[in-house]
Amino acid sequence: MPTDYASPRDLKQDLLLTKAASRNRRLATLAGQGILFALTSTSAVAVLFIFYFIMKDAVPFFALSGLGEFLTSTAWYPSGDPPQFGALAMFVGTALVTSGAIIVAVPLGVVAAVCLSDVLPFSARQAVKPVIEILAAIPSVAYGFFALVVFAPALQAQGGRLLSTATWLVGAPVAALGVMVISDMLTRGATGRRRVSIRLAAGVVLGMSALWLLQAVAARLGQVEIASGTNALNASLILGIMALPTIVSVSEDALQAAGRELREASYALGATRAETLVKVIIPAAAGGILAAVILGVMRAVGETMVVWMAAGNAAQIPHPFYNLLEPVRTLTATIAGDMGEADHVTGSARYHVLFAMAFCLLAFSFVCNLVTEWIVRRTRRKLTG
Amino acid sequence: MRKAITTGALALAIGLAGPAAAQETLTLDGSTTVGPIAKAFAEYYMQQHPDVNITVSESGSGNGAKSLINGTCDVADMSRFMKDTEFKAAVDKGILPVAHVVAMDGIAVIVHRSNPVADLSMEKLRDIYLGGITNWRELGGPNKTIVVISRDTNSGTYETFEGLVMKGEKMAGHVEYVNSNGMARARVQNTDGAIAYVGLGFADRTVKALTVDGIAPNRATVASGRYPIARPLFMFTNGYPKLGGTVHAFVTLHLSRKGQEIVEAIGFVPVTDY
């Protein structure tokens, strides 16, 4: 006999809570949600506070000295009498060093990400990715020390040779790829035997001229003598290496997120792996890769210790402005270097100008973050919708 | 019984804690140039008085003044005199800074060891930092660009150099800045065309110290005031320290025989031994 089963009346009694118990439960849920919400919003509130306090100390500078000199002058003499606060050279220095870092890190990082996600076998990827991520764990002062003690003297002693070697290393693969693509495009119309010969002729002509060009550039750079090894090039290279792990990691995630279905569909249509990569996967992951690049840029813009040690800290705009071989000064290095003397106890424009710079950096990274967010969201919608 | 043991343990604990709580601490902060003197003094003093604990921070003359004004240190090490703004801020906060000159420091102008140039006049030196002279050829040296290196504007060494050599004129834009004497020396060690200025104690055999106006930077010329780029080094206290107290003993250590030996041993010039 099924006497163990509760009668409908018993069930009803167990399920229905008393009014007090039900209220307590609702309160407990609310309290739990409230605590979790408070904990989560702590970080958001911290960001707001940072914004507020930097604004609070930056605004007096603009009130004291205005925007004119800050943005248009290169005369940076904070301890002069009267002091001059021209930060244009620092803006240019930051832009120059960051651009250099992008040129180093973006091609390397994206190629490495593609290689990790779609070319290397799984086991190799398991081994290589942690190694790349270790780059992010090395303290920046160690990079700075390397830049100052090893790399700067090497640039001074062997500058020309290093530059021409780098030209060959970077230029040769790019030139080879370019020659292949261009000769392919030239022969698009032709067919059969004619196509092969045209292609060969174009390849030889283009290859020879590319070689000649590379040789000329390398020889020219080989003559260069670098007077000071702590310059924009040094800082750019080191910053590029430091931005690599961010770019590799995030791009690789984006490439993975493109999904197995896309790849299989592409293979099913008869595409080769190269075609799948270039025409399907990379376009699908373009948004994520761009986001990775922006994150890498932010890493390079915000880095302080390396640029303070490796960039030379000369408050000047190089001649010409893209000359990476001259020392430059960045916003972050200026803030770190001038903080000690500029105290709010003895308070002055010299203190507030540093916050004005910090505010510019913060605004820049805020905009970068918004753009990244927007790109990622748009890509996600495109992929799913 | 148990209660007795507890009481005994408590008494013992208080007995042990007694001398530990009585241990006196002295906090010093400030110039990286004066720092080595302060550290050597502290080491010697703590050896003599094991019940005193002295901590020395090196965060720059400006930060030393700031710490004294904020009351976070007992003695501020400074390689320059207090500025009027700092003095005013201190007095406003009820701190009355008193200067003790503990040693003299010469600022040596250093170049790479391979550089044949041996002497610079004050005018030529200023012209290099103003950007008027940019190649060693103009000074009788090799055809090499001059890499001009300065300490950062945060350092007392910079302010002394600016006051004694630049005489208020502004350094050129291409001047590079480094944030310690050691880093300035390191850059000169491995850069052929470099010129920099460092405290006398940092001008060792790995670099070449130039004579200025024909006078070599050494103890005799600095102490007698003949070498043109020299300055006194200060320790600042809040008011004159209580006679016989630890602070008093510490800031008068440089007047003793041992204090002079310490100052001399780390490459500075004692004030009492003219």
Residue B253 tokens, joined: 């250590």
Using an 8 Å CB-CB cutoff, list chain A residues near B89: 345-346
Token output for B191: 């850069």
Please determine, for residue B14, whether its predicted confidence score (pLDDT) is greater than 50: no
Are A327 and B176 an interchain contact pair (Cβ–Cβ within 8 Å)? Answer: yes
Q: Does the beta-carbon distance from A78 to B153 stay under 8 Å? A: yes
CA–CA distances in Å: residue A169 to residues A111, A174, A214, A306, B41: 15, 9, 10, 25, 56
Residue A384's pLDDT is what?
Answer: 63
Q: How confident is the model at residue B12 (pLDDT cuts 50, 70, 90)?
A: very low
Most B CBs within 10 Å, among A84, A343, A344, A351, to test the B interface? A343
Cα A303 to Cα B19: distance, rounded to the nearest angstrom: 47
Chain B residues near residue A348 by CB distance under 8 angstroms: 85
Q: Which of B153, B167, B175 best tests the A interface by mutation, with the highest count of A CBs <10 A? A: B153
Provide the pairing of β-strand B97-111 with B194-199.
Answer: antiparallel
**Residue B141 distance to chain A (closest CA, Å):** 15
If you search the block for the tokens 């190089």, which residue do you land on? A318
Answer for the pair A341, B62: CB distance below 8 angstroms, yes or no.
Answer: yes
CA distances from B189 to A224, B185, B211 (A): 22, 6, 18
Best residue in B177, B178, B185, B206 to probe A by mutation, most A CBs within 10 Å?
B177
Give the mean model confidence (pLDDT) for residues B68-78.
92
Give the span between the Cα atoms of A107 and A113, in whole angstroms. Answer: 10
- B214, B273, B252, B266: which is closest to B45 by C-alpha? B252
Q: Is B104 on the interface with A (CB under 8 A)?
A: no
Residue B145 has pLDDT above 70, yes or no: yes
pLDDT tens digits, residue range B173-211? 889 998 888 889 989 998 889 999 998 878 888 999 999
Cross-chain CB nearest to B173 (options A89, A308, A348)? A89
Find out whether B194 and B149 touch, Cβ atoms under 8 Å.
yes
φ/ψ bin of B225: left (φ > 0), alpha (ψ from -120 to 50), beta (otherwise)? left
pLDDT at B142 over 80: yes
Instruction: Report yes or no: B178 at the A interface, CB cutoff 8 Å.
Output: yes
| ipTM above 0.90 for this complex | no
Residues of A in contact with B177 (CB under 8 A): 312-314, 329, 337
Q: How many other β-carbons are positioned within 10 Å of the β-carbon of residue B85?
A: 14
Token pair 């849920």: residue: A29
The continuous run of DSSP H or E covering A84 comes out as strand A84-85
**Other CB atoms within 10 Å distance of the CB of residue B7:** 10
Q: What does the DSSP 8-state code read for residue B168?
A: T
- The C-alpha atoms of residue B196 and residue A245 are separated, in whole angstroms, by 37
Which residue in the set A156, A314, A341 is minimally distant from B62, CB to CB? Answer: A341
pLDDT band at B18 (very low <50, low <70, confident <90, very high): very low
Mutate to test the interface with B, among A76, A149, A228, A230 (most CBs of B within 10 A): A228
Distance of residue B144 Cα from the nearest chain A Cα, in angstroms:
8
pLDDT in tens, B78-101: 988 998 999 999 999 999 999 999
pLDDT of residue A101: 93
Return the structure tokens found at A105: 């890190």
Inter-chain CB proximity A337 and B153 less than 8 Å:
yes
Cβ distance A341 to B194 less than 8 Å, yes or no, reads no
pLDDT at residue B175, rounded to an integer:
92
**Residue predicted with more confidence, A348 or B9:** A348
Task: Give the span between the Cα atoms of A263 and A280, in whole angstroms.
Answer: 8
Q: What percent of chain B has pLDDT over 90?
A: 50
With beta carbons under 8 A apart, name residues in chain A contacting B153.
Answer: 78-79, 337-338, 341
Q: Please determine, for residue B2, whether its predicted confidence score (pLDDT) is greater than 70.
A: no
Residue of higher predicted confidence among B6 and A64: A64
Query: What is the rounded distance in angstroms from the CA atom of residue B160 to the CA atom of residue B165?
Result: 8
Taking an 8 Å Cβ-Cβ cutoff, which residues of chain A contact chain B? Answer: 74-75, 77-81, 89, 148-149, 152-153, 156, 227-230, 308-309, 312-317, 326-327, 329, 337-343, 345-346, 348
Token pair for A35: 């605590």
CA-closest candidate to residue A326, choices A223, A221, A233: A233
Residue pLDDT tens, chain A, 385 long: 455 555 555 555 566 778 888 888 899 999 999 999 999 999 889 989 999 999 988 888 888 777 888 888 888 888 777 788 888 999 999 999 999 999 989 988 998 999 898 888 889 888 888 888 888 889 988 998 899 889 998 988 888 888 888 888 888 888 888 888 888 777 777 677 787 888 888 889 989 999 999 999 988 888 888 888 888 999 999 999 999 999 999 999 889 888 889 899 999 999 888 888 888 898 888 888 998 999 899 989 989 888 988 888 888 888 888 888 889 999 999 888 877 655 554 457 778 888 999 999 999 988 988 888 888 788 777 666 5
Interchain CB contact of B162 with A (< 8 Å): yes
Helix (H) or strand (E) holding A254: helix A232-257
User: What mean pLDDT comes out for the span B243-267?
Assistant: 89
Nearest to B190 among A153, A312, A337 (CB): A153
B6/A204: higher pLDDT: A204
Q: Kindly determine whether residue A81 and residue B85, on different chains, have CB atoms separated by under 8 Å.
A: no
**Could you identify the residue written with the tokens 């030239």?**
A186
- Judge whether B260 and B270 are in contact, CB under 8 Å: yes
Pairing type for strands B75-78 and B97-111 reads unpaired
Residue A341 to residue B83, Cβ atoms within 8 A: no
The mean pLDDT value for B1-15 works out to: 46
- Tell me the shortest Cα–Cα distance from B89 to chain A, in angstroms: 6
Beta carbons of B190 and A227 less than 8 Å apart: no
Look at residue B8 in the predicted model and tell me its pLDDT: 46
Q: At residue A330, what is the residue type?
A: T
- Indicate the residue type of B5: I
Residue B274, classed as helix, strand or coil, is coil
Interface contact B175, partner A, CB < 8 A: yes
Nearest CA in chain B to A147: B187
Q: How confident is the model at residue B21 (pLDDT cuts 50, 70, 90)?
A: very low
Distance from A21 to chain B by nearest Cα, in Å? 48
pLDDT greater at residue A236 or residue B272: A236
